[in-house]
Structure 1
Amino acid sequence: MPHLMPAAGPQRVIAASNFVYTVGSGLYLTAGVLYFTQAVHLPAHQVGLGLAIAGFVSLVMGIAVGHLADRRGARGIYATTLLVQALATAGFVLADSFWPFVVAVCVATGAKAAGLAARSPLIRHYGGDRPQEFRAYLRAMTNVGISLGALLAGWAVQVGTLTAYQLLVIGNAIAFAASAAILVLLPSTPPAPVAHGPRRLALRDRPYLLLTALDGIMAIQFKVLTVAIPLWLVVATTAPHWLVSGTMLVNTVIVIVFQVRASRSVDSPAAGGIAYRRAGVAFLIACSLISLSAGMPTWAAATLLMTAVVVHAVGELWHSAGGFEVSFALAPEHATGQYLGVFGLGAGLAEAFGPGLLIALCITWGRPGWYVVGALFALTGLAAPFAVRWAQRHQHDRRTHLQTAWKEAAA
C-alpha cells in the first residue's frame, strides 16, 4: 500500500489538498442526489435533467481553463476553481427549485472539470521524473478520502432531516475551501513558455483526440460498478442486497492498495496501449461473469458477482494506469493543461451517456447486453495500441516542427 503522504515538499502539499478535497467529494457522491430529492424535494427526473445539463457544461470548461492554467500559472487557477466550487456547493442550500438547482450544479460541476485540468500542470511540474506515477498515487488516496466522506455522509442519510443534509452540504463546501487554502503552501509555478503553433493545439491533434475517444468509451467501466451492478444485483439475481456495499468496498480496497504498483509497470506510451488492451479483456471477462449470475442460487450468484468485481477492479487498475501514461506522455509540456483538459472530455462523455447506455443494454435488454458491453470494452482495448503508435508518430513530427520553428526564430 502507498505511503499515507509523500516526503515533505510540493508533492505533500498537493496530496494533502487532494485528500481534503476528496473527503468533501465523498460526502457529495454518497448523498448529493438524495439531498435534492429527499431534503429539497425536487422530482427525480428534474434532478437527473439538471445533472445532465451540468455534465455538458463541464465538457467545455476543462479545455478553456486548462489552457489558462498553462498561460497564467496553474496554482492560482487551480485554487480559484476550488473556491468557485466551494461557493457553488454552499449555494445548494439556497437551491429550493429547479432553475436555482441547475445554476448551482452547473457552476459546481464546471468548476470541478476546470480544476482537474488546471491541476494537471502542477502534477507534471512537481511529479518528479514520473508524474504519471504520482497521479496514480493521488488516485489511490482519492479512494481513501471518498471512503471517509461516504462514512460521514451515512450519518446525514440515516438522520434524514433537512438540517442534517444541509450540514452535509456545508461540510462539503468547507472541504473544498480548505483544499484551496492548503495550496497557499505550494510554490507558484511559472507559466508555460508560449510555443509556435495553433492556439487550440490539442483540438487539432487528431491522434490525441482518438485516444480521448477511446478512453471515453473505456471510462464507461466506472459506471458498471456504480450503476449497472447494483441494479443488476437487485432486479436480476438472488444475491443479498447488502452485497452492493461489498462490491464497492472490494473495488475501493483494491484500488487503494494496488494502483501505484500497477502504474509503475506502465512506463511508456506503448506500455499504456498494452494496459488498455489488458483492461478490455478483463472487462469482457467481468461482464460475462456478471451475466451468468442471473438465475443462479444465492451463493453462486454472490460468488460470481464478487469474482467479477475483482476482475473488473484489475481491469480498472490497468485502464487508469494506461490513461495516466498516454495522457501525460503524449501531451507537450507547454500545453499540459490544455491537453489534459481535452483528454477529460472522454470521461465527461462517459459520465453523461454511460449510465443510460448501461441501463438500456444490461438492465433493460438483460444478459445479452452484458456481452455487448464487454465486447465494446475489448474492442476498444484492441484499438488502443494502434492509436498510441499513431500519436507517437504525430508527437515526433510536432517536435521536429517546433525545433525548426525555434531555430528560425533564434536566427
Structure 2
Amino acid sequence: MPRLMPDTRPQRVLAASNFVYTIGSGLHLTAGVLYFTEAVHLPAARVGLGLGVAGLLALVLGVTVGHLADRHGARGIYAATLGVQALATAGFVLVDGFWPFVLAVCAAAAAKAAGTAARSPLIRHYGGERPQEFRAYLRAVTNVGISLGAVLAGWVVQVGTLTAYQLMVVGNAIAFVVSAVILFPLPPVAPVPAADGPRWIALRDRPYLLLTVLDGIMAIQFKVLTVAIPLWIVGATTAPHWLISVTMLTGTVLVVAFQVRAGRNVTSPAAGARAYRRAGAAFLVACSLISLSAGAPAWAAAALLVVAVVIHTVGELWHSAAGFEVSFALAPPHATGQYLGVFGLGAGLAEAFGPGLLIALCITWGRPGWYVVGAMFALTGLAAPAVVRRIGSPSATGRRAGTAPDNGRRRRSPCPRTTGLGH
C-alpha cells in the first residue's frame, strides 16, 4: 500500500485537490456514457462519435496550455482549467440532442486535457528528488477518489431516473470547483524562462513523438473499463447491472494498492519498454475473457468479467508505470509542461478514437472485436522495446528536437535517477 500522506505540505495540497477532483471523475467514468445513452437517449454510436470529436479538440489545447504553464506559472493556469471543466460539466444537464452534447463534451474534454498538461510542472516542482514516485502516489489517490465516485454512480445506475443522473452531473461539477479552491494555499511556481532555439521543441522531437503514438494506442485500454465494459454488461451479457460498479471498484482498489509498487522497478526507459510489453500481453488475455462472458449464465459471466478486470488492471499498472517513466525522464526541465502536453496527445488520441473504436469493434461487432482489440494492445507492447532502442542510439540522440547532441540544453543518461529529470 502507498503511504497515507505525502512528505511536504505542497504535495499534500496537490493530493487533496486531486482526491476531490477524482471523486467527481469516478461518477462520470462509471456512469457518464450511460447518462447520455440511458437518460438523454442518444444512440451509443453517436455518443462515441461525439466523444471522438471532443478528443480531437483536446489534442490541440494540451500542448498550448502546457507551454503557457511553463511560461506564466502552472498553479493559476491549472486552477483556471478546473473552473472551465466545472462549467462545461454542469452544462451536461442542458443536453437534449446530439449537437448540444458535442458542444458540452468538447468543452469538458478540452479543459481536462489542458489541466493535465498544466499540472505537470507542479508535479515536477513539488515531487521531490524522484517525481515519478509522487506521480504514482497521485495515481493511487486518484483511484481512491474514483472508487468513491463509483459507489455513488452505482446507486445512480440502479435507480436509473433522469433526476438521479442529473444529480450525478451536478455533483461532478461541484467536485471540480472544490478541487480548484483547494489549490489556493499552494505556493506558486515561478515561470521557467525559455531556452534558446525553436519555441515548440517538443513537436520537433520525433523519437518522443513516436513514443507518444505508441502510448496513445495503448491508452485506449482506459476506455475498456469506462466505456466498453458498461455497455457490454448492459447489452451483451446476463450479468446484473450493479456489476458495472463492482468492475470499476475492483480496478481502482488494485491500483490504489499496487501502483506505487509497480513503478519501483521501472526506473529507466528500457524498463519502461519492458513494462509496455507485459501490459500488452495482459490486455490480450483480459479482452479474451471479456468476450467469453457473452451468452454465459449470469454467475459465470460475472466471474469471467471480474477475473478479466483483475488481469486488465495488472496490465494498466504496468502501462501507467511505463508512461510515467518514459514521458518525464525524457522531458527537459525548462519545457516540462510542453513535453507532457505533447505526451498527452497520445491520451488525446485515445479519448478521440478509443470510445468509437471500442463501440464499433466490441459492442457493434461483438465477440470477435474483443480479440482484435486485445491483439492491437499486444502488438503495441511488442513494438515499444524497439522504439526505445532507437531513441537510445547515438544517431537518434543527435536528431532530438532538431538539435546537436552536445548543445547543452538536453542531456541523456541511461538512468533517470542521475539526470535530475522526473515525472
Alignment of 1:59-208 (within 5 A): 59-96=59-96, 98-156=98-156, 164-208=164-208
1:147 to partner: Cα distance: 1.9
Inter-CA distance 181–280: structure 2 relative to 1 (3 Å threshold):
same
User: How far does the alpha carbon of each residue in 1:353-397 deviate from its partner, in whole angstroms, 9 at most, with x for none?
Assistant: 223323443444444433332222222111111212333444576
Tell me which residue corresponds to 2:5. Answer: 5
1:125 to partner: Cα distance: 1.1
Moved more, 115-124 or 4-13: 4-13
Query: SS where residue 185 of structure 1 aligns?
Result: coil
Q: TM-score, normalised by structure 1?
A: 0.88
Alignment of 1:218-367 (within 5 A): 218-233=218-233, 242-293=242-293, 300-367=300-367
Moved more, 370-379 or 225-234: 225-234
Moved more, 182-191 or 316-325: 182-191
Inter-CA distance 60–229: structure 2 relative to 1 (3 Å threshold):
same
User: How far does the alpha carbon of each residue in 1:164-222 deviate from its partner, in whole angstroms, 9 at most, with x for none?
Assistant: 54443333222212111111111111112311222111111111111111111111222
Inter-CA distance 292–62: structure 2 relative to 1 (3 Å threshold):
same
Q: Distance in 1 between matches of 2:328 and 2:408?
A: 23
Alignment of 1:375-394 (within 5 A): 375-393=375-393, 394=396
1:238 to partner: Cα distance: 5.7
Inter-CA distance 371–199: structure 2 relative to 1 (3 Å threshold):
same
1:228 to partner: Cα distance: 3.5
1:232 to partner: Cα distance: 4.5
Query: SS where residue 14 of structure 1 aligns?
Result: helix
Q: Distance in 2 between matches of 1:376 and 1:125?
A: 36
Tell me which residue corresponds to 1:409. Answer: none
1:254 to partner: Cα distance: 0.8
Q: Distance in 1 between matches of 2:125 and 2:46?
A: 42
Inter-CA distance 289–341: structure 2 relative to 1 (3 Å threshold):
same
Moved more, 5-14 or 386-395: 386-395
Q: Which has the higher helix share?
A: 1
Inter-CA distance 85–363: structure 2 relative to 1 (3 Å threshold):
closer
Q: Distance in 2 between matches of 1:99 and 1:143?
A: 32
Inter-CA distance 15–94: structure 2 relative to 1 (3 Å threshold):
same
Alignment of 1:30-69 (within 5 A): 30-36=30-36, 47-69=47-69
Tell me which residue corresponds to 1:18. Answer: 18
Q: Distance in 2 between matches of 1:226 and 1:77?
A: 28
User: How far does the alpha carbon of each residue in 1:228-254 deviate from its partner, in whole angstroms, 9 at most, with x for none?
Assistant: 444555665565555444332221211
Q: TM-score, normalised by structure 2?
A: 0.85
Inter-CA distance 147–77: structure 2 relative to 1 (3 Å threshold):
same
Moved more, 171-180 or 118-127: 171-180
Inter-CA distance 284–48: structure 2 relative to 1 (3 Å threshold):
closer
Q: Distance in 2 between matches of 1:156 and 1:289?
A: 27
**Aligned partner letter, 1:352:** A
Q: Distance in 1 between matches of 2:390 and 2:240?
A: 47
Q: Distance in 2 between matches of 1:336 and 1:199?
A: 13
Q: Distance in 1 between matches of 2:117 and 2:224?
A: 25
Q: Distance in 1 between matches of 2:152 and 2:302?
A: 28
Inter-CA distance 58–366: structure 2 relative to 1 (3 Å threshold):
same
Is the 1:220–1:350 Cα contact (8 Å) retained in structure 2?
yes
Inter-CA distance 84–277: structure 2 relative to 1 (3 Å threshold):
same
1:287 to partner: Cα distance: 2.7
User: How far does the alpha carbon of each residue in 1:272-295 deviate from its partner, in whole angstroms, 9 at most, with x for none?
Assistant: 111101111222222333344556
Q: Distance in 1 between matches of 2:305 and 2:165?
A: 32
Is the 1:330–1:395 Cα contact (8 Å) retained in structure 2?
no
What root-mean-square deviation, in Å, do the aligned CA atoms of Structure 1 and Structure 2 show? 2.9
Q: Distance in 1 between matches of 2:233 and 2:178?
A: 38
**Aligned partner letter, 2:379:** L
Tell me which residue corresponds to 1:404. Answer: 407
Query: SS where residue 404 of structure 1 aligns?
Result: coil
Q: Distance in 1 between matches of 2:256 and 2:311?
A: 15
Is the 2:361–2:369 Cα contact (8 Å) retained in structure 1?
yes
Is the 1:223–1:354 Cα contact (8 Å) retained in structure 2?
yes
Is the 1:330–1:392 Cα contact (8 Å) retained in structure 2?
no
Inter-CA distance 106–307: structure 2 relative to 1 (3 Å threshold):
closer
Inter-CA distance 66–253: structure 2 relative to 1 (3 Å threshold):
same
Identity among equivalent pairs (%): 78
Is the 2:71–2:192 Cα contact (8 Å) retained in structure 1?
yes
Moved more, 200-209 or 34-43: 34-43
Is the 2:27–2:168 Cα contact (8 Å) retained in structure 1?
yes
Q: Distance in 2 between matches of 1:333 and 1:167?
A: 42
Is the 2:33–2:227 Cα contact (8 Å) retained in structure 1?
no
**Aligned partner letter, 1:146:** I
Is the 1:123–1:134 Cα contact (8 Å) retained in structure 2?
yes
Inter-CA distance 369–201: structure 2 relative to 1 (3 Å threshold):
same
1:331 to partner: Cα distance: 1.1
Which ranges of structure 2 fall in alignment gaps of 5 or more residues? 410-423
Is the 2:82–2:111 Cα contact (8 Å) retained in structure 1?
yes
